[in-house]
Amino acid sequence: MARTFNIVCIPGDGIGVDITEAAVQVLTTLEKTFGTFNFKFDTLDWSSKKYRERGYYAPEGGIEALKKYDAIYFGAVGWPDVPDHISLWQMILPIRTTLNQYANVRPTRILPGTVSPLSGCAADPSALDWVIVRENSEGEYSGHGGVTPSSAHAAHTVATEVSIFTRAGIERIFRFAFETALTRPRKLLTMVTKSNAQRHGMVLWDAIFYEVAKEYEGRVKYDKMLVDAMTVRMVMRPQSLDTIVATNLHADILSDLAAALSGSIGIAPSSNLDPTREFPSMFEPIHGSAPDIAGQGIANPIGAFWSAAEMVRWLAGADGASNSEGIVQGGGVGNMVQAADCLMQAIANVTEKGVKTRDLGGQSGTKAVTDAVCEEIGNVY
Ligand code: NAI
Ligand code: MG
């Protein structure tokens, strides 16, 4: 009998709405094609429009209630008339922390038929094939700090933004990153740091990396990069990188660079994972609500489809079909690893044929790309 997964969609704002609808269409096509798993979708309107009407994104108890689902599919949140720190801190960050989604995984590669701004990748697109593992629960985004309240002495205003690094938090993200590297062809992990200038948290970060590395000696190769030098290496020697682990802030920035180097921010996926699998994980493209193109039917849905494929791959590891870090081993539940591969192949075939949105240099709209991917799923299967 087909396994049923309960998925909650939070489309959010702007193009988040269009691409979530497109992702649901693709996931529905995939379940029909395979017949070994089903999705039951609920949708929550936690948008900036609702925030303006009623003063909150998620209602009281709303984030707790997400725990009953198998996974969360998220579009994008944020709109020019609500300050961005409100949408981030009322929605995305509380979801990630409440649901223990401490690992954020961001794969990047150059899809067939698309062009990287790196001239070296024109001859060999496989040179850029990375997975960035982002620490998703603490570090620079822990929210500790404050501002002196005095407006009478505005000239002397002081604000602090304190980074929090805990042994437990660092150790678990490195273990997850090594396990991820083990699943990759090159089995190479690069740790990103700034321990030359930041002499407390980042020094602890480095020290724990080498402790965890001992457990993987001989199985995973590893090296260390300062974050500033890392940007240079990503541009100049993409083929020298494979799996990358970095703090919340560093990986946030590096993954946007990675997306741009692969051709467009519109294709890049992201998974917010609870590797313990106690709580649902959340899948979302890395781009935002793109107010500049919202409502025009031209948003690239590939990042949303890739995120959907990552969700299918993660769900394949349900029911005990995964290791201690939650990573799926073998075929998993309901042929879902094959289903995820099928969706990725369908995406690649469609971009190769030139059915692309404008950000990738094509002419097609969101709907045309979505329909093409749905049709291609049948061909690949
Ligand atoms: P953005 O990612 O929304 O847009 C940056 C640029 O990339 C824009 O020119 C946009 O048109 C283009 N772009 C993004 N996604 C695209 C797609 N799928 N297809 C074609 N072009 C695409 O980032 P921006 O402008 O900094 O932020 C806009 C709003 O989104 C803000 O309110 C921000 O806070 C929010 N945001 C939300 C995120 C989330 O929900 N996880 C992540 C990033 C931003
Ligand atoms: Mg970002």
**Strands of the sheet with 221-226, listed across from one edge:** 37-43, 3-12, 71-76, 281-285, 269-273, 103-109, 129-135, 243-246, 188-193, 221-226
Q: Cβ(47) to ligand 1 under 6 A?
A: no
Q: Cβ(266) to ligand 1 under 6 A?
A: yes
**Å from CA of 140 to ligand 2 middle:** 13
Q: Which of 134, 7, 73 is nearest to 284 (CA)?
A: 73
- Residue 151: predicted pLDDT: 66
Query: How many CB atoms lie under 10 A from the CB of residue 148?
Result: 12
Q: Going by C-beta distance under 8 Å and a sequence separation of 6 or more, which residues neighbour residue 312?
A: 27, 30, 336, 339, 340, 343
- Residue 249: predicted pLDDT: 97
Q: Which CATH architecture has domain 116-262?
A: 3-Layer(aba) Sandwich (3.40)
**Å from CA of 251 to ligand 2 middle:** 8
Which ligand places an atom closest to the C-alpha of 257?
2
- Residue 329: predicted pLDDT: 77
ipTM value for the complex: 0.98
- Residue 276: predicted pLDDT: 95
Q: Cβ(359) to ligand 1 under 6 A?
A: yes
CATH number of 1-101+276-381: 3.40.718.10
> Using an 8 Å Cβ cutoff, are 225 and 194 in contact?
no
- Ligand 1, atom 10: nearest CA belongs to which residue? 290
- Residue 309: predicted pLDDT: 98
CATH 3.40.718.10 domain position(s) in the chain: 1-101+276-381, 116-262
Per the structure block, which two tokens stand in for 112? 């067939």
What's 322's DSSP letter?
Answer: B
- Residue 157: predicted pLDDT: 86
- Ligand 1, atom 33: nearest CA belongs to which residue? 78
Helix (H, G, I), strand (E, B) or coil at 33: helix
- Ligand 1, atom 17: nearest CA belongs to which residue? 266
- Residue 152: predicted pLDDT: 67
Alpha-carbon distance of 74 to 64, in angstroms, equals: 16
Q: Which atom of ligand 1 is nearest to the CA of 291?
A: 28
Mean pLDDT by 10 residues, the chain (381 residues): 94 98 98 96 96 94 96 96 89 92 96 90 90 96 86 80 97 98 95 95 97 97 98 96 98 94 94 96 96 97 98 93 86 90 97 96 97 97 93
**Å from CA of 252 to ligand 2 middle:** 5
